[in-house]
Amino acid sequence: MMKVLITDDEIQIRKGLRLKVDWEEEGFQIVGEASNGQEAIDLLQSMDVDVLITDVRMPIMDGIELAKRCHKQFPTVRVIVLSGYSDFEYVRGSMKEGVKDYLLKPVAPDELIDILRIIRKDVESERRKQVESARLHQLVRTHLQEVQEQYLLHLVKEEWLEPIMVTERLRQLQIEDLAKENIRVQFVTVEIRADAGNPNRVKELWLPFLMLCKEIAKEHAGTYTFYDPSYSNMVHFLHQLDFELPNSTSILVKEIQQNINAFLGLETVIGIGNVVMGLTEFKTGYISSLLSWSQSNIGSGSQVIDWTKTNEEEFGISPDLERRITNTIENVNFKAFKENIHQVLGIAEKQSIMAFSFDANRVLFLLGSLAEKYNIKTKDIHKIMWECQQSIWELNSHRKVIEQLIQLAQLIIEKVRFARFSNGKLIIDSVRHYLELHYANEISLTLLSEIFHINTSYLSETFKNQVGQNFSDYLVNLRMEKGQQFLKDKELKIIDVANLVGFSNSGYFSTVFKKHFGQTPAEFRQTINK
């Protein structure tokens, strides 16, 4: 409903206006009356008003002065002036002073309705434009945040071999604090649940939930959110611990639960992970938050499960063993993979249930990372990964988990083997997929050949044959396309955009950008603002 304020020094005129229109049917609501301009200004300061209807001649402050004041102080309010014929020229000359329209007295109901409908259409159109503008602005503003979140997911789930490259990328993404050696973090996994009688409610409120989590994270220094497509209805928080505020995670968790319940009416099941130190332990911290969550009870009630209070055991697969398992897949050695898996997980009777589940998750993440790296996440692979995750969460299916991991590895090995004998097409697709995530790093053909276990000369030749351009040109084109996206965000300086796409020097970035697009980054920004 659009809100209307009527201003006239004659009470009978005000009553008459109320009776001339079925205000509710037209989408309006009369929220107040005033007998002069000053009273109207006072009411405008204390209530929301969309339309002001005012007489011209009133004591203390007349309608034209009221329209001028309203135009300056309340520019979104539409003003309709009522006037006699003798005041017609006076009112018409004041249209530029904030008067939206005018009506001659006595006011005809159909003329009033026509003006109201025009105003309502105008306001609705403007609001749609504002919403669309806000949406586009939000899309632009969140592009950096989205790239940050994608990289956080990469850090906690996938294989990364070059710590220096990781540190540099974190700096480019303006989250370099995560690269500190002594950083202590906790991961918090948050799932939303609704009553069994309304299962669609969670789906309907997913985006508001996601946005609310991002807003909460902004209020806590050193806290970031990310979304893992492998787990529906969940958002994950990476929370830096503050030595001066030892219970900061508890404060964060309490705020998450209270806000989601208050604003969305949903319950939350929260898993708090173990405290970990340094980038190399992020994966361990993330898995521990997932395993904490997995111990929740079935049902819609809010719950908090804290890993640090339920598990004192220290465990985890060594980086060396992870590397050996990875090599068995990339060298298509299925026999060696099975031997390594049995070495890690085949001693279930000597492990706690939690230790087995933790290590099984590490292997599952590793296999998922390889499937992502080679861009081979088929429906079959997705299905087995999900089934395996379910078996891990059951906490009582050791043999079943091992069988599923072996089955998953066999599928991935077959895909990798096929990729190596596909005239290079699938390998190059995998390389391009890898570049989509790491385009800003110092990437060379030599590094890629090591990552994908391919001869450098063969990779160079195959890349050009499959893509139609050499590797260095492709990388520059990719960086320029990403640069265009970041430049749409006015909050980012050009040096920031340069860093984000892998250029340490904004001048060189501008030179390459102009050569590529025929205009400088600054000129490009001017064109998108027109």
Candidates 51, 50, 49; CA nearest to 80 is: 51
**Mean local confidence (pLDDT), 23-27:** 91
Instruction: Give yes or no for residue 384 having a pLDDT over 80.
Output: yes
Instruction: Give yes or no for residue 491 having a pLDDT over 70.
Output: yes
Pairing mode, strands 234-240 and 184-193? antiparallel
Instruction: Give yes or no for residue 530 having a pLDDT over 60.
Output: no
Residues in Cβ contact with 377 at an 8 Å cutoff, skipping those fewer than 6 apart: 368, 371
Instruction: Give yes or no for residue 366 having a pLDDT over 80.
Output: yes
- pLDDT value at position 450? 86
Q: What is the CA radius of gyration of the chain?
A: 31
- pLDDT value at position 335? 93
d(CA 23, CA 2): 10
d(CA 48, CA 54): 17
Find where tokens 């430049």 sit: 487
d(CA 411, CA 398): 20
- pLDDT value at position 345? 84
Query: What tokens does 380 get?
Result: 């079959």
- pLDDT value at position 471? 94
**Mean local confidence (pLDDT), 47-64:** 89
pTM over 0.75: no
Query: Residue 99 forms beta bridges with which residues?
Result: 79
Which of the four pLDDT bands, split at 50, 70 and 90, describes residue 88?
A: low
Find where tokens 């790239």 sit: 147
Better pLDDT: 72 or 514: 514
pLDDT digits (tens, 9 = 90+) for 179-209: 988 899 999 999 998 876 676 888 888 888 9
Query: What tokens does 369 get?
Result: 């990372």
Which of the four pLDDT bands, split at 50, 70 and 90, describes residue 373?
A: confident
Which of the four pLDDT bands, split at 50, 70 and 90, describes residue 100?
A: low
3-state secondary structure of 75: coil
The full length of the chain comes to 530
Which percentage of the chain shows pLDDT scores above 90? 39
Instruction: Give yes or no for residue 312 having a pLDDT over 60.
Output: no
Write the single-letter amino acid at 2: M
d(CA 240, CA 340): 34
